Amino acid sequence: MFKQVRGLFSNDLSIDLGTANTLIYVRNKGIVLDEPSVVAIRKDGNKISPKSILAVGEAAKKMLGRTPGHITAIRPLKDGVIADFTVTEKMLQYFIRNAHGSTFFKPSPRVLVCVPCGSTQVERRAIRESAAGAGARTVHLIEEPMAAAIGAGMPVSDPRGSMVVDIGGGTTEVAVISLNGIVYSESIRIGGDRFDDAIINYVRRNYGSLIGDSTAEKIKKDIGCAYPANEVNELVVRGRNLAEGIPRSFTLNSNEILEALQEPLSGIIDAVKNALEKTPPELGSDVAEQGLVLTGGGAKLKDLDRLLMEECGVPVIIAEDPLTCVARGGGKYLEMIDEFGLDILTID
């Protein structure tokens, strides 16, 4: 009952609960929150509440891999789904409050959460319940590629095949959409995190040095690329030499990173090719004519569109502001719910 009343003072939220980043889109306001999905937990001595939340988001991300014994910085989501239920709930609570700013009442918004299309019923239920536990009045779920396509401005309601490839932190979603529905979808557990892991493994193998997640991410952002470029970028990296046990610095160039990323990239290419293969011919020809749209943080990897263009033989375009596509699409979907009713796209 109070949730209903509090709902009057709350805005509708669309949450892109991603492995790497959580984005919140508020209707009529835009993206109000874009923070890493990281929570730092402190173990306290007292028995009543042995654990407390120390930091969430950006602050917690800085602690990743740099924490003393009594603090753990964790990412509660793995592969696009919840790995730690309670921590996710706390994180969502924090984000929802934060997205609302200071209000008179405790917010109880209507919430739309994007889930990977490959997620199981159990995983969806977990996400739904943690959002409800975080104070949501009602929770709607939408499949990520659908939200991404809406957010990218693709003509999802037309009788025309639109292909979207959403490369997130934990998963890559490939989907062909027509008439507000998903015709074909595939979710593979390759994403930004796998890129980082591939870089860490590569450095260990070839330089005998160990680097952390944050360093690997920095390397990926600075000199990572998916297609051989004319100019070669270099970056000086410091890591612990495994043989000597002391930190050493060495130089990595973009061609090495390209080599390191081959495995996850081929996984994504396979998924796209697979999707093109399994798409009904009529829609396939639409896709071949218009091209596929890349969204998500992975789309920012340099020359990934070129690689896909080369490999798949279809035009590849990168959506505008690819990181926020899913959250924005969710927001538009909430508006569509108000306009057309619930039955258009629901997956409940």
Partner 1 sequence: MTTDNEKNNEVKNELMETPGDILSKKREEVGLSIDDVAEKLNLQPLQIRSLEKNDYDSFNVETYLKGYLRSYAKFIGVDGDKVVNLYKQQNTEKIIEIIPDVKPKSQRSSPNSSTKLFSYVIGLVVVLALIVWYQKEQISEPYITGKEISNIKMKKINKNNVDTSYEIITHSNYWQWPIDKSVENYVDSIEKNNQPSQAELNEDENVNSLEQNSVAEEVENEASYNIQEGTDTIVMNLTGDCWTEIEDRDGNKVFYDLAREGRSYVINGKSPMSVFLGAADEVSILFNGSTVDIKPYIKFGLARFTLPE
The residue ranges that bind partner 1 (CB under 8 A) are 9, 11, 25, 29-32, 34, 98, 100-105, 152-155, 288, 290-291, 293, 305-306, 309, 313-321, 324, 328
Judged by beta carbon, residue 321 or residue 338, the one nearer partner 1 is 321
In SS3 terms, the chain reads as CHHHHHHHCCCCEEEEECCCEEEEEECCCEEEEEEECCEEEEECCCCCCCEEEEEECHHHHHHCCCCCCCEEEECCEECCEECCHHHHHHHHHHHHHHHHCCCCCCCCCEEEEEECCCCCHHHHHHHHHHHHHCCCCEEEEEEHHHHHHHHCCCCCCCCCCEEEEEECCCCEEEEEEECCEEEEEEEECCCHHHHHHHHHHHHHHHHCEECCHHHHHHHHHHHCECCCCCCCCEEEEEEEECCCCCEEEEEEEHHHHHHHCHHHHHHHHHHHHHHHHHCCHHHHHHHHHHCEEEECHHHHCECHHHHHHHHHCCCEEECCCHHHHHHHHHHHHHHHHHHHCHHHCCCC
Q: Give me the least distance between CB of 44 and partner 1, in Å please.
A: 27
Q: Give me the least distance between CB of 234 and partner 1, in Å please.
A: 20
Q: Give me the least distance between CB of 86 and partner 1, in Å please.
A: 25
Q: Give me the least distance between CB of 337 and partner 1, in Å please.
A: 18
Q: Give me the least distance between CB of 30 and partner 1, in Å please.
A: 2
Judged by beta carbon, residue 114 or residue 127, the one nearer partner 1 is 114
Judged by beta carbon, residue 29 or residue 125, the one nearer partner 1 is 29
Judged by beta carbon, residue 44 or residue 58, the one nearer partner 1 is 58
Judged by beta carbon, residue 53 or residue 71, the one nearer partner 1 is 53
Q: Give me the least distance between CB of 253 and partner 1, in Å please.
A: 20
Judged by beta carbon, residue 141 or residue 292, the one nearer partner 1 is 292
Judged by beta carbon, residue 27 or residue 240, the one nearer partner 1 is 27
Q: Give me the least distance between CB of 209 and partner 1, in Å please.
A: 33
